[in-house]
A and B are shown apart, each in its own frame.
Chain A
Amino acid sequence: MKRLLCSLAAFALCAGVLAAPKPATTPLPGESVYRLSVTLTDQHGKRFDWSKRRGKPQLVSMFYTSCQYICPLIVDSGKAVEKQLMPEERERLGILLISMDPARDTPAALMSVATKRKLDPARWTLASPAQADVRKIAGVLGIRYRALADGEFNHTSALVLLDGEGRILARTEQMGAKVDPEFMAQVRRAVE
Chain B
Amino acid sequence: MRRIVALALLLFPVAGLPAGNGDYVNLPGGSFRSALKYEDRKGDTRIAPFALMRKPVTNAEFLAFVQRHPQWRRDRVAKVFAEPRYLSHWAGPAKLGAGALPQQPVVQVSWFAAQAYCEAQGARLPTWDEWEYAAAADETRRDARRDPAWRERILRWYSRPSTQALPRAGLQGPNAYGVQDLHGLVWEWTDDFSALLVAADNRNQGDADNAKFCGAGALSMDDRDNYAVLMRVAMLSSLDAEDTTLNLGFRCARSTR
Interface residues of A (CB under 8 A from B): 1, 4-5, 28-33, 35-36, 64, 67-71, 73, 135-136, 138-140, 142-150, 152-157, 173-176
Contact = CB atoms under 8 A, between A and B. Distances in A.
Given A30-B80, A31-B79, A70-B210, A144 B194 contact: yes
A160 B72 CA distance: 26
Which size class do B's interface residues fall under?
35 or more
A5 B71 contact: yes
A140 to B, nearest CB: 6
Interface in B1-59: 38, 40-41
Interface of B: 38, 40-41, 69, 71, 77-81, 111-112, 115-116, 191-192, 194-197, 201-202, 204-207, 210, 212-218, 237, 240-242
Contacts of B112: 136, 139
Contact of A70 (B77, B196, B213, B218): B213
A71 B212 CA distance: 11
Nearest to A152: B215
A19 B9 CA distance: 54
A45 to B, nearest CB: 25
A135 B214 contact: no
B41 A146 contact: no
Contacts of A73: 210
A142 B214 contact: no
Contacts of B242: 139
Contact of B215 (A5, A139, A140, A148): A148
B192 A135 contact: yes
A35 B201 CA distance: 26
A154 B80 contact: no
